[in-house]
Structure 1
Amino acid sequence: MTTPQVTTVPITDQQHLLFLFIPLKKGMLGEAMAHAESIKEAKLEAAASGDPRKTTGVHFFTIYPQKDGQATPGIPVPGFQSFPGKDVLVVMSIYDGQFDAYISAFFDIQKVVDGLNGLMYLMDESNIPGVDPDGKTSANYIAKMGGVKQNAQAFYCLLMRYNFGDPVYSAGDQGGKYVFGTNFPGLTVAKIIDNYPNADTLWPAPPAVTSFNFPAAQKPSCK
């Protein structure tokens, strides 16, 4: 059997999974989603001074609000679950490079920082086993001490506490706690934008993107 060729990929070119389950005060999902929407809009506004997609390195992301005690709708199994007495915000993204570099790239956009700071006030870490709700990596502490940018290391640790993803486990690796594959290992967002033919028209800089109209896709027939 032929031994597979091994290619070493620089850490900055690796893709990683972020998969957060953020505990929120019950009834605050609407406000949390408003903060999430403001963060998305702020990234577009920031592109006026340079395309932020290269530095943040986000391939895609999704944010899902899950109410306390309610099953994930539309599927016949429980799906995501909140901690009893709390709502939960589920956040998933694929990002390039180091975890702290990925998160800190958003600190240059003040409206994103404002949205993240607002989220700190909505979190509820009380009565979670092993979690100090007022400890030095807690949302309460970060909010009290000036916010996420001023307490960056504490914020990284806060996120990691609720991150099912492992920033050491890159796409293409094997043997981790989940399967995380990629067809294009090492293909970062910056490489896509800088090297793909006609990238500026296929993926215009965020200020030029308002909306896309796609034909309706069809679900498979399962009758």
Structure 2
Amino acid sequence: MPLASQPVGRRERNKQQKLDRITAAARELFAERGVDEVTTQEIADKADIGAGTLFLYAKTKGELLLLVQNSSYADALAEGTSAAEHIPAVLDAVMAIVRPVVECNRKQIDNGRTYLREMIFGDPEEPHHRDALLLTVQTEQAIADVLQRDERIGSGDAATLAHIVSAIMFVSMAATINVAAPVDDVVQEIRNQVQALV
């Protein structure tokens, strides 16, 4: 029987079900009260597992936040990349990628800022952290692909510019001065900087 068509074993199904329960519990509690106000014991209780089991899936609360936010970020990036395909103007297409990522990050501002901090300072050997870093690479690649539509921008320059755009986006989302700023203001700030860049 080909490997791809073999049924998933009970043990793997149980692990996936636990991971799904942990993710759902953490997502709900973090959205309600923010990551700083939730304990790992509360997440374990809501997921109906022991605290020790929880730590097999994520060793810290920060890693739990990465687990939860990574799926939202991936969805936002897919939405933005898809929208950008149909927008001819380079700046508008870049911003089509950026906007859903900003919106995703700003759903719960404290969680979004903590997520960015975990991405930067977290343990790169931890799988949820690696997934978050991969998302930043994918974001930069999507932006670089758009920038290369401009015949004046080669692939090397596009990659460098995309890295700068990514930095602008992350600093704008994390900046204390923008804590109370609505999404539109943060996106406009990013757009102004990107426009000056490209």
- Same fold per superposition (TM over 0.5): no
| TM-score, length-scaled by structure 1 | 0.29
Q: Which has the higher contact order (CA 8 A, sep 6+)?
A: 1
Q: Which has the higher strand share?
A: 1
